[in-house]
Each structure stands twice: as structure tokens, then as C-alpha cells.
Amino acid sequence: MDIEEHFFRHEFGRIVATLTRLFGVGNFALVEDVTQDAFCRAMETWKLRGLPKNPSAWLMATAKNRALDILRRERTARVSEPALARFLESEWTLVPTVEEAFSAYAVNDSQLRMMFSCCHPRLSEEAQIALILHILCGFSVKEIAQAFVSSHAAIEKRITRAKKILAESTKLFDLADADLPSRLSSVLQALYLLFNEGYHGSSPEAAVRMELCQEAMRLMNLLTKQPALVTPQSYALAALMYLNAARLPTRLDGSGNLVSFFEQDRSLWNHNLIAEGQALLNLSASGTELTKYHIEAAIASMHTSAARSEDTDWKQIVSLYDMLMAIHPSPVVALNRAIAIAQLEGPDRGLQEIRIIHDLHRLSSYPFYPATLGELELRRGNYPVAKAHFSTALSLARNPMERNFLQRLIDTCKES
């Protein structure tokens, strides 16, 4: 059947955002009812009658008609944005106003406003991401709980609370607001974390959750298509996502096992995404602000531009990590920097750098910390020490892919 992957999910986000614009953030329960109703109608009809010619327009028209019914009947539904409210009072202006809200431009605009509204300063980063996934990406509480290895109850509580805070705003975030720059940073950070969660995935089920990456990129694309919102840092984050996504297919082999970065088949990298990422990276190189997104994208680009692993410009990468440490220090960044130094100057130097990482204890539950120690000891020919490190890493592994990956390294040590 020719129904695009995740079609329902994406349309859900578009419809929720559009209806919220009409009914107002305070009427969110009504918005969810109307959306749910449109999707039930679609499902009940399509499952018997097959897909209509234009499924997206079908859903939008169904939601729109239902919205018109409600706006005609129930005054309480008309507590929308003050700017819209007066147009919803009279039948003369009601229909054109609703039509306008469902136009392609307005739907995108509403999604962006919704995205900015979800990144409310009173919400934690975790709550912002959960809310974005729930409202804009149509993830159920159960699906979010699975994605974040959290309990159903915990996510439910987080979302309920977040919705309450959202509803307290009188209207959706105005993209012409003076607070836009600070809010934009939060939005970018949320999308960055969402992408990383999919890319590095601590989920017990899967090491890579492509869907989260795809959702982050879809929302990112909405943002970079809006001229008023694109800043060098949004281009940089988009570039980072494209350059990393290009390498996603090779992180797992045919049997779903994690593949070491150095052994990945570079011919399988997605070269369209690399080209797109590189173009975005060039666009990001204006202005005066150098963000972590710029540097991380530049590092990713150093990797994607090397035809073979041994062609990598590690010297340049080390200096990029130096810059990243200067503006955004963290033990994980320091560990990655040490790995780059090991590539450039040998495993001894790498280990030396690791020993002096500030806050090293914060890596104590991160499996790739002992795994890195093991990898460097392996290169020095210290097989028993390497094996001990890999065993520690194995005990910290978060999913079967990580476990298999580490088990194979342990086996390598035994054989040597």
C-alpha cells in the first residue's frame, strides 16, 4: 500500500498545530479530541475504501470541517489567539479565517510556533523534548517511554505537567517576539538532543533509533525553510544532522551489529546527505558566533570528506576538539579529543590525555569510556589489560548491539 512511512504521525503534528492556532493553547484537550476524531474517521474509512487521492488533504479537510462545526456551535472554543478571535465571531469571516489557518503557509507557521511554544523556559530540556515528540511528532506516551527508556508513568506525568504550562500561555509563541533569539537557542538545543538520542541511543532495544533522528531533521527542515528563523547556528546544526545522518546506515552491519567507526564501509555513506550537509555548513560560516554546532559539524565534515579512514586529517580534528573544549567542555568531548590525539600521536598519548580528563568520574557509567581504554591498550599489544577494560565496558552496555560489539573485542583479545 502506498502510504508514506510515518504519514499519520506527521499529519498529526500538522493538524494539532493548526487547530491550536484556531482554538488557542488553553483549549488543548479540545484540539486533541478533534485531531483524534479526524484520524479515527480516516482510519475507519481508508481501511475499507482504500486511500483517497490525496490523503493529506482529506485529513486536513476533515479536521477543518469539524473545527468549523465546533466554532459555530460552541463559544467556549473561541478563545483562540486574540488576533483571530474576532474573525471567528461572524459567519462572514469565520470560513475564510479557518481556510486561511489551513493553508500550507499557515500550517507550517503554526508548527513552528508550536515548536517554539514547547521550548518554554519553565520546562526542563527533557520535558521540552517529550512535548515536541508528543505534540509535533504524534508519539504516544508509550512510544516516548520506549524511546527514552523511561516508565510510562514518568513520561505521562512529565507531559501532563508540560501541557499545563503550555496552556498557561495565552497564545502560541509569536515568531516576531523579542524573545525569539533566546527561544531559538532552546529550540535548537532540543532538536540537537532529540537527534543525539536517536544517533547514540541509550535504549536497551536498539543502539540507533533512526526515527528520532528523522523527526529531528524534519523539524529542523521546517525551521531552515523559514527565512526569518535561519541563523548561522541553525544552519550549523542542520549541517551536523545531515553529516551524521549520512553515516547512520553504516553504524550497524547487515545483522544489526554495531560497526567500529574505523571499519565502516564508507562507500555506503549517503552522499546526497553529505553534499547537503556540506552546503549547509558553508551557509553556517557567516556571522561572528562560533557555536558547538559549528565545531561538531566541522568535525563530522572532516570525517565525511576523507575517502578512507587513513586519509582523515586528525591534526585538524584535534584542533577542532581543542576549540570545542574551550567553548563547551565536557568529559565526553575530552574523551573524543583523546581518541583523536591517539590517532595522531599514538595510543600512549591518547591514554595520557584520558588520565588527565577533568571530571573523569562522570564517565563511570559510559560504556565507551572503558571501551576506549581497551581499544588503546589493544593497540599497544596489552591484551590482558585491554580485555579487562572491555569486560568492564560489557558490564555497562545498554543494549544487545553494544554487548555483541564488546564481546567480539573481548574475543579478539583472547585470540591474540
Partner 1 sequence: MTEFAYFYRGYELPASPEEMQKKTVKWMTWLKDLSDKGHVKSLGEPLQPGGKVVKGTKKQIIDGPYAEAKDVVGGYSIIVAKDIEQAVELSLGCPIFEDDGSIEVRPFGQPALGDGY
User: CB of residue 415 vs partner 1: minimum separation in angstroms?
Assistant: 44
Task: State which residue, 40 or 268, has the beta carbon closest to partner 1.
Answer: 40
Task: State which residue, 5 or 415, has the beta carbon closest to partner 1.
Answer: 5
Q: Does 151 bind partner 1 (CB under 8 A)?
A: no
Task: State which residue, 139 or 368, has the beta carbon closest to partner 1.
Answer: 139
Return all residues near 253 (Cβ < 8 A) that are at least 6 apart.
259
Distances (CA, A) of 69 to 7, 34, 64, 157: 26, 11, 9, 32
Q: Does 19 bind partner 1 (CB under 8 A)?
A: no
Task: State which residue, 8 or 314, has the beta carbon closest to partner 1.
Answer: 8
Cα–Cα distance, 202 to 368 (Å, whole number):
12
Q: Does 215 bind partner 1 (CB under 8 A)?
A: no
Q: Does 361 bind partner 1 (CB under 8 A)?
A: no
User: CB of residue 136 vs partner 1: minimum separation in angstroms?
Assistant: 12
Q: Does 152 bind partner 1 (CB under 8 A)?
A: no
Q: What is the DSSP string of 41-103?
A: HHHHHHHHH---S-HHHHHHHHHHHHHHHHHHH-GGG----HHHHGGGTSHHHHHHHHHHHTS
Give SS3 for 212.
helix
Which of 25, 34, 42, 338 touches partner 1 by CB under 8 A? 42
Q: Does 45 bind partner 1 (CB under 8 A)?
A: yes
Q: Does 47 bind partner 1 (CB under 8 A)?
A: yes
User: CB of residue 171 vs partner 1: minimum separation in angstroms?
Assistant: 26
Q: Does 314 bind partner 1 (CB under 8 A)?
A: no
Q: Does 379 bind partner 1 (CB under 8 A)?
A: no
Question: Residue 237 carries which side chain, given as an amino acid letter?
Answer: L
Give SS3 for 252.
strand
Residue the block writes with cell 527533557: 126
Residue the block writes with cell 556540506: 278
Q: Does 8 bind partner 1 (CB under 8 A)?
A: yes
Name the residue among 381, 393, 384 with its Cα closest to residue 414.
384
Which of 32, 46, 61, 323 touches partner 1 by CB under 8 A? 46
**Among 139-147, 187-195, 236-244, 287-295, the segment contacting partner 1 (CB under 8 A):** 139-147
Q: Does 307 bind partner 1 (CB under 8 A)?
A: no
For the window 20-39, what string marks contact with partner 1 as x by the rule CB under 8 A?
-------------------x
Name the residue among 371, 415, 361 with its Cα closest to residue 392.
371
Q: Which of residues 69-128 bind partner 1 (CB under 8 A)?
A: none
User: CB of residue 40 vs partner 1: minimum separation in angstroms?
Assistant: 6
Under a CB-based contact definition with an 8 Å cutoff, are residues 243 and 297 in contact?
Answer: yes
Task: State which residue, 47 or 414, has the beta carbon closest to partner 1.
Answer: 47
258 forms bridges with which residues in the sheet?
252
User: CB of residue 52 vs partner 1: minimum separation in angstroms?
Assistant: 12
Q: Does 153 bind partner 1 (CB under 8 A)?
A: no
Is the C-alpha dihedral spanning 381, 385, 388, 390 positive or negative? negative
Cα–Cα distance, 380 to 211 (Å, whole number):
39
- DSSP state for residue 174 in the 8-state scheme: P
Q: What angle do CA 391, 397, 401 make, to 5 degrees?
A: 110
Which of 20, 115, 119, 138 touches partner 1 by CB under 8 A? 138
Cα–Cα distance, 85 to 89 (Å, whole number):
7
Task: State which residue, 146 or 278, has the beta carbon closest to partner 1.
Answer: 146
User: CB of residue 139 vs partner 1: minimum separation in angstroms?
Assistant: 7
Task: State which residue, 1 or 356, has the beta carbon closest to partner 1.
Answer: 1
**Among 44-52, 278-286, 341-349, 407-415, the segment contacting partner 1 (CB under 8 A):** 44-52
Cα–Cα distance, 96 to 90 (Å, whole number):
11
Give SS3 for 258.
strand
Which of 75, 122, 142, 355 touches partner 1 by CB under 8 A? 142
Q: What is the DSSP string of 245-261?
A: HTTGGGTB-TTS-B--G
Residues that bind partner 1 (CB under 8 A): 1, 3, 6-9, 11-12, 39-40, 42-51, 138-140, 142-143
